[in-house]
Amino acid sequence: MLAVHPRDDQQAPLRGVFSTRSPDRPNPIGLHRVQVVSIDANRSGVRDLEAHHGTPIIDVKPVLEPLGER
């Protein structure tokens, strides 16, 4: 299993890379901040995605503020 400390916080327990935002993934998945503009039964519409039209969205996570700004 590929594991990382979430958000590079060494105090946090190790978690699998696919359950985090880690860029240390063994596949070419892009991470992009987007604006969700619509959600239908099985389709989501977003703005500002840096990908070709029709590219599947695999996961959506909320934006988190940096650790030092809480």
pLDDT tens string 3-55:
888 888 899 999 988 888 777 777 667 778 888 999 998 888 888 888 878 87
Under DSSP, is residue 3 helix (H, G, I), strand (E, B) or coil?
strand
Total number of domains constituting the chain: 1
Dist CA 52 CA 29 (whole Å):
13
> pTM for this structure?
0.47
pLDDT of residue 10: 92
7 falls within a domain: yes
Is residue 62 one of the residues assigned to a domain? Answer: no
| Domain region containing 5 | 1-53
Q: What is the pLDDT of residue 8?
A: 83
Domain assignment present for 64? no
Report whether pLDDT(59) > 90.
Answer: no
Q: Give domain status of residue 66, yes or no.
A: no
Given a cut of 60, is residue 65 above it in pLDDT? Answer: yes
d(CA 67, CA 70): 6
As a whole number of angstroms, the distance between CA 25 and CA 3 comes to 10
